[in-house]
Every structure is written in C-alpha cells, then in structure tokens.
C-alpha cells in the first residue's frame, strides 16, 4: 500500500489566495459601506475568519488529508473534526478527469477526479509526479510523463 500526501505548495498557495481575497473583501466593505461602525464590525469578522482559516483550519486539513493506493483501490482519508474515508476500486472507474492549473508544479494545484457509478472521488492538491503515478496505477496511461522544469 502506497500513501500520498498533498503537496505543501498547495497549502501555501491557498493561504496566499485566502489573504488576497480577505484584503479585497475588506477594501470593498470600506469603499461601499458608508457607516463607520458597520465597516469595523464586518471587516473584523472577515479578518477573524481569514485568520482562523489560514492559521488553524487549513494546516489541520492538509495534515489530515492523505491518499492510500493499493493494487485494487484508492482511498481518500480527510477531515479536520470528523474523519471521512472514501474508497474506489480501480475497475469501477468509468473515466477520470485531470485538472492542472498554470504553474501547477509550483502551486500544487493538481486534482484528479475519478467518476464511478453513483458518485466520484476527488484527489486534491497532488504533486504532478503523484498525479501521474496514481493515473498509471489505475491503468490510465494517457497522461504524459512529468518533466521537471528548472
């Protein structure tokens, strides 16, 4: 049984995106709400949620997320407060979708979606090499080999 963990670059990318969205929301609140006390309350709430997400929830989520792959199935284990296990047998996969963002080798934003009868299994924040390895384990060799760009 082989284990895969999410790419640490994915955590950094999500933290940065959360900080940017927080700044944009606070700026929009300050520009479009004329009441000063309401600005402070809403801006403080947005900031509190962002700080909780960046420093507590996201690190715990990334620490708990893992994928276990055997010769017959892949299992996703996730959850911060409640653990969730999802398994899919490779022979039940109808098709797969690979989602890679620009500069995904640096951002860790590679996703695999396995579609099966009655549902799907999404593997989040994989490194490119892990995504290719998992696809090869499923018998899908349509994905090209990863080239490391300096």
**pLDDT confidence of 142, banded at 50, 70, 90?**
low
pTM above 0.75, yes or no: yes
Give the SS3 label for residue 32: helix
Max distance between CA atoms of the chain, in angstroms, equals 61
What pLDDT shows up at residue 49? 97
Tell me the percentage of the chain whose pLDDT exceeds 70: 93
Q: Average pLDDT in the 101-115 region?
A: 87
**84-89, strands of its sheet edge to edge:** 2-4, 66-69, 73-78, 84-89
The predicted-structure confidence for 67-78, as pLDDT tens digits, reads as follows 999 889 999 999
What does pLDDT average to over the chain?
88
Residue 140 is predicted with a pLDDT of 63
- C-beta neighbour count of 7 within 10 angstroms: 25
């Amino acid at each position: 049984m082989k284990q895969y963990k999410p790419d640490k670059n994915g955590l950094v990318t999500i933290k940065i995106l959360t900080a940017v969205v927080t700044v944009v929301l606070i700026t929009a609140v300050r520009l479009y709400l004329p009441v000063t006390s309401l600005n402070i309350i809403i801006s403080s709430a947005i900031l509190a949620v962002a700080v909780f997400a960046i420093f507590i929830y996201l690190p715990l989520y990334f620490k708990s997320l893992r994928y276990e792959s055997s010769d017959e199935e892949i299992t996703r284990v996730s959850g911060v407060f409640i653990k969730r296990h999802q398994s899919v047998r490779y022979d039940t996969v109808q098709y797969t979708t690979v989602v890679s963002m620009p500069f995904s080798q640096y951002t860790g934003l590679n996703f695999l979606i396995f579609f099966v009868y009655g549902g799907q299994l999404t593997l989040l924040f994989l490194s490119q090499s892990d995504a290719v390895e998992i696809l090869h384990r499923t018998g899908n060799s349509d994905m090209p080999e990863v080239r490391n760009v300096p």
